[in-house]
Amino acid sequence: MARVVLATGGTGGHIYPAAATAHELRTRGHQVTLLGQRGGMEERVADEQNLPFYGVAAGKLARSGQGRPDPRELLKAGRGLLEARRFLAVRRPQAVVGYGGFASLPGVLSAQTLGIPTVLHEQNAHLGLTQRLAAARAKAVGTAYAEVIGLDQSKAVLVGMPVREQRLDRQTALAELGLDPGRLTVMVMGGSQGSYALNTALPALLRGLFGAQGDSGGQPVQVLHATGLRWQEDVAAQVSDLSWYHPVGYVNAVAAWSAAELAVTRAGTGTLAEAAFHGVPAVMVPLPESAENHQLHNARAVEAAGAGRLVEQAELAGALAPAVLECLSPGIRGEMRAAAQGRSPAGAAARLADLIERFLP
Measure the CA–CA gap between 324 and 321, rounded to whole angstroms: 5
297-336 in b/e form (b: 16+ CB < 10 A) is ebbebbbeebbbbbbebeebeebbbebbeebbeeeebeeb
End-to-end CA distance of the chain: 9
199 labelled binding-site residue? no
252 labelled binding-site residue? no
Measure the CA–CA gap between 262 and 300, rounded to whole angstroms: 18
Phi, psi of 213 (to 5 degrees): -95, -10
266 labelled binding-site residue? no
216 labelled binding-site residue? no
DSSP 145: S
171 labelled binding-site residue? no
Phi, psi of 268 (to 5 degrees): -70, 155
29 labelled binding-site residue? no
Contacts of 312 (CB under 8 A, 6+ apart): 285, 286, 288, 296, 319
Q: Would you call 202 exposed, middle or buried from its count of C-beta atoms within 10 A (0-12, 13-18, 19+)? A: buried
Give yes or no for a contact between 46 and 53, defined as CB atoms under 8 angstroms apart: yes
12 labelled binding-site residue? yes
Indicate the annotated binding residues: 11-13, 124, 164, 192, 295
Task: List binding-site positions for UDP-N-acetyl-alpha-D-glucosamine.
Answer: 11-13, 124, 164, 192, 295
